[in-house]
Amino acid sequence: MEENLDNKLDNKMIPVVTLRDIVVFPGTTVYFEVGRESTIKAVSEAMNSDKMIFTVAQKDQHEENPGLEDVFEIGTLAEVKQIITLPDKVMRVVIVGIKRMKLKYVETVNDHLRGSLEEVQETGDTSYTLEVVAYVRGLKDLFKVYCDELGKINQQIYQEIMDCTDIERLIYMITSNIPVNYQLKQKILDEDDVMKRHEELSVILSREISIMRIQDDVATRVKRQVDENQKEYYLREQIKAIHKELGDEDEVSEADKYTEKLEKLKAPKRVKKKISEEIRRFRLTNSNSSENAVIRGYIETLLSIPWKKKSKDNTDILHAQEILDEDHYGLKKVKERVLECLAVKTLKEDGQSPIICLVGPPGTGKTSIAKSVARALDRKYVRICLGGVRDEAEIRGHRRTYVGAMPGRIIAGLKRAKEKNPLILLDEIDKIGTDSKGDPSAALLEVLDPEQNKHFSDHYVEIPVDLSHVMFMCTANTLDTIPRPLLDRMEVIELSGYTEPEKFHIAKEHLIEKQITANGLTKSQLTISDKAIHIIIQNYTREAGVRNLERQIAKVCRKAAMEVAKDNDCKVRVSERNIKKFLGMERYENNMANEHSDVGIVRGLAWTSVGGETLEIEVNIMDGTGKLELTGKLGDVMQESAKIALSYVRSVLSDKIDSEYFNKHDIHLHVPEGAVPKDGPSAGITMATALYSALTGKKVRADVAMTGEITLRGRILPIGGLKEKLIAAKIAGIKLVTVPEKNKKDVAEIENEVKEGIDIKFVTSAEDVWKYAIER
């Protein structure tokens, strides 16, 4: 037959049928449907001649008009046995594969493909040897296992395969009847060596068997899970029916709501497991029991904590700077630190957030700058006021065993923010108290430690909460009452009081506009002159911050609102001439420098909680018994400074004044404004100078002020609050100020507008001061 076939093929172009997803093998019968016009013509042409066609698989099954490069090189010569014409121009074809052939050339003739074929040499020994018999049996065994796993195969085909003894035909029959990718089948057809074909088919069958076993395992697990879910569903429905009979239907529906929320919750596995356990307990408890309410509150708390929900920081430094400058005037150090933090976040997203503590007098913008920082970073803002907090449970929460237990303020803040990375402001951290219920500041040690707060433990929640993404800011008026371990965990930025120019800018750029809007006015209805603003600052307020300044501006706006309410066309202008009409008589007068130099009267500088102040110290000497009288409500430290100053002055004047003089005279040192308590060592040099002047009769310059602690040997030691003191000296009209030499670095950091107009002299001893202060 092969000789007759070869004669038929000699120099003859055979119709070519290109197939999608189908590979025809010799000795196998294949059924397929064709719809392409070119394929139908090729099959029809074969039926009209010798019924021979060449079938070859396409490389790309989507190609509509394939050429030689679009089909595989090896195909199968086949004989068309039957064609059936179906509706919609579709033809069903039955063919029998005859022989592997190689497609050499293809051309289009009468709208269908014809090709020139070439013989393909088979290699490998297929004679009936023991080795071949072993291969045949092994392949049949493998196919049997495959059929057992598959579970569905035509029994007639199965029996034909099992009865086959020819290895080549066995390979073709098995490959043709297993549902694998056509490219794998083509690979077997392309192989010339029969034994390699056997090897390829064995690998494919083994892999398919493994895949089916894995699928069976997965299906078994899924079925088991479905069965468990159905069982659980059935039991839950029973529980619902029972609860309905008992009148507890709402509790069941509430538990279902919690379950739905749990499925949507983004949280660690341990958290979800804990909530799931609590929901299970909640279902089993009676709605009238106290435990039911405790479990409900606990579940709701855990569901409302933002375990993984996080907002994205706005790391645009220019945008942040613009917002900070827009909301606040000055506060340079705070703004710089926030911008540095942003720069680090830009370069390293998981960088630790700083823990900043802002320390300064009331009204200097500590709380409001935190709100601006949150706005600049696009973070939620949470304020927690710690003033007067005495119970550790306020920070860590109460244990659930207590009636009315609830989480601490930190967890409550996270719940309000609904994000795990808000900015939390711990306001008035210096006013935390302690009592028998514990020390809240000790609980804050864990909160404010970046190495520990990744696993913050709240007594109520019981599950560690990650606070490492939270940016903490704290505010305080003084560092004295903050425990040292807590202070060590914070980066302290000191905010000094505002200077008069700063207050002027704040009032003009922020406060006036804010109060005009708050009182229902417009900018055209009320204007306040610059001189009027200066008068309000100097004569109606006395503070380091701007709270009272805002109150006075609000008072002006209310008065203006009354005028506008009476006459809508009224335009109110506030100037230095009519300011008393709005604010009444001036409340404060600046303690200006004396016009003339005097004996025993010296101007000192003091720091108060509302800013700097000039302090006039007076000394009188009179006949007596050698007593030192100190008046003016002086504290212990200040009284000691006065005694040190007197001892030093006596030692300096021992060669000029007889010792009997001090036994026969009393010395009275007074600090005016006797109702105001005064303390601190910084007036030491001022008292020494007043005593020296009174004892020697030499006048002290009226335009000189001084500050510094004095020792028994006359050395001048450094002091604090220098900026506020210099501001007070400037307001009082002082021309020269003596400052301890060791405060030189502090003076360098003070703005030039504060130092302008004041001659600052650095001194190391009392004699240096007297060179500048005592008139010669």
Closest by CA position to 634, among listed 621, 651, 618: 618
The separation between the first and the last C-alpha atoms of the chain, rounded to the nearest angstrom, is 143
CA–CA separation, 738 vs 725, rounded Å?
11
Angle at 476 between CA 472 and CA 481, to 5 degrees: 115
Closest by CA position to 364, among listed 522, 493, 217: 493
What does the block give as tokens for 183? 């490219």
Exposure string of 712-722, with b = 16+ CB inside 10 Å and e = fewer, is eebbbbbbebb
Angle at 671 between CA 665 and CA 674, to 5 degrees: 115
Catalytic residues: 682, 725
Q: What is the DSSP track for 464-493? A: -B--TT-EEEEEES-STTS-HHHHHTSEEE
CA–CA separation, 612 vs 606, rounded Å?
6
758 neighbors 737 (Cβ within 8 angstroms): yes
CA–CA separation, 763 vs 759, rounded Å?
13
CB atoms within 10 A of CB 750: 16
Classified as helix, coil or strand, 56 is: strand
Burial of 419 (0-12, 13-18, 19+ CB in 10 A): middle
Closest by CA position to 695, among listed 651, 738, 752, 735: 651
Closest by CA position to 599, among listed 714, 691, 737, 729: 691
356 neighbors 489 (Cβ within 8 angstroms): no
670 neighbors 628 (Cβ within 8 angstroms): no
83 neighbors 47 (Cβ within 8 angstroms): yes
What one-letter code names the amino acid at 496?
A: S
Q: HEC string of 392-404?
A: CHHHHCCCCCCCC
DSSP at 604: E
What does the block give as tokens for 604? 């000192």
Phi, psi of 100 (to 5 degrees): -70, 135
